[in-house]
Amino acid sequence: MFFRLLFAWMLVTVTLTTNLPAQRPEKLDYAIAIHGGAGLEPDKLNADQKQAQEAALRKALDVGRRILADGGTALDAVEQTIRVLEDDPLYNAGKGAVFNSAGEHELDASIMDGANLQAGAVAGVTTVKNPISLARLVMTETRHVLLQGGGAEKFADEMHDQPQIARVPNEYFSTEARRQDWQAAVEKEKERQKQANKNRMGTVGCVALDKHGNLAAGTSTGGLTNKKWGRVGDSPIIGAGTYANNETCAVSCTGTGEYFIRNCIAFHVHALMAYQGKTVDEALVYLTEKVLEPDIGGLIAVDHLGNISMHTNTPGMARAAADSTGKVEVKLAR
Ligand code: ASP
Per-residue confidence band for 292, with pLDDT thresholds at 50, 70 and 90:
very high
Q: How many domains does the chain have?
A: 1
Residue 5 lies in a domain: no
Residue 4 lies in a domain: no
pTM listed for this prediction: 0.91
Q: Say which CATH number the domain at 132 has.
A: 3.60.20.30
Q: What is the mean pLDDT of residues 73-83?
A: 98
Residue 15 lies in a domain: no
User: Does ligand 1 come within 6 angstroms of the Cβ of 314?
Assistant: no
Distance 212 CA to ligand 1 centre (A): 31
Residue 44 lies in a domain: yes
Per-residue confidence band for 54, with pLDDT thresholds at 50, 70 and 90:
very high
Give the 3-state secondary structure percentages of the chain, helix then strand then coil, rounded to 5.
40, 25, 35
pLDDT in tens, 256-289: 999 999 999 999 999 999 999 999 999 999 999 9
Which uninterrupted H or E stretch holds 62? Answer: helix 47-69
pLDDT of residue 189: 80
- Backbone dihedral region for residue 252 (phi beyond 0: left; psi -120 to 50: alpha; all else: beta): beta
Q: Is 314 helix (H, G, I), strand (E, B) or coil?
A: coil
Structural domain that includes position 316? 29-333
Q: Which residue out of 224, 261, 262 has the highest number of ligand 1 atoms within 8 Å of its CB and is therefore the one to mutate?
A: 224
Distance 27 CA to ligand 1 centre (A): 31
CA-closest residue to ligand 1 atom 9: 223
pLDDT in tens, 199-230: 557 999 999 999 999 999 999 999 999 999 99
Residue 119 lies in a domain: yes
DSSP β-ladder status, 31-38 and 316-323: antiparallel
Among 73, 203, 279, 288, the active-site one is 203
pLDDT of residue 308: 98
Residue 83 lies in a domain: yes
Residue 103 lies in a domain: yes
pLDDT in tens, 86-136: 999 999 999 999 999 999 999 999 999 999 999 999 999 999 999 999 999
Q: Which residue out of 200, 253, 292 has the highest number of ligand 1 atoms within 8 Å of its CB and is therefore the one to mutate?
A: 200
User: Does ligand 1 come within 6 angstroms of the Cβ of 235?
Assistant: yes
Q: Which of 22, 61, 53 is nearest to 205 (CA)?
A: 61
Distance CA 246, CA 268 (A): 15
Residue 3 lies in a domain: no
Distance 296 CA to ligand 1 centre (A): 10
Active-site residue, 254 included: no
